[in-house]
């Protein structure tokens, strides 16, 4: 069973392409996970904004601390 020259040359390329595609897919999944985490923080902060003073007290926060948390950037912090 012999391989033709085109098959010999083609086989490593497939492996390289697959490797690059896997790397790109991993990078994409990481990026989506980071964005999802940031959006969850944003949702949590918006929920914090809606709590009453009594509910904030139950959580262990003051209104001023809650406002400080709410005013943070949704993406960078």
pLDDT at 23 over 80: yes
What pLDDT does residue 42 have? 87
Mean pLDDT of the chain: 84
What pLDDT does residue 74 have? 66
Three-class SS of residue 24? helix
Regarding pTM above 0.85, the answer is: no
47, with CB counted inside 10 A (0-12, 13-18, 19+), is exposed
């Amino acid at each position: 069973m012999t391989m033709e020259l085109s098959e010999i040359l083609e086989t490593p390329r497939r492996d390289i392409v697959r490797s690059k595609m896997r790397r790109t897919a991993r990078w994409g999944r990481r990026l989506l996970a980071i964005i999802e985490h940031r959006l969850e923080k944003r949702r949590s902060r918006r929920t914090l904004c809606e709590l009453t003073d009594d509910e904030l007290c139950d959580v262990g926060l003051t209104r001023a601390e809650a406002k400080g948390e709410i005013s943070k950037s949704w993406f960078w912090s």
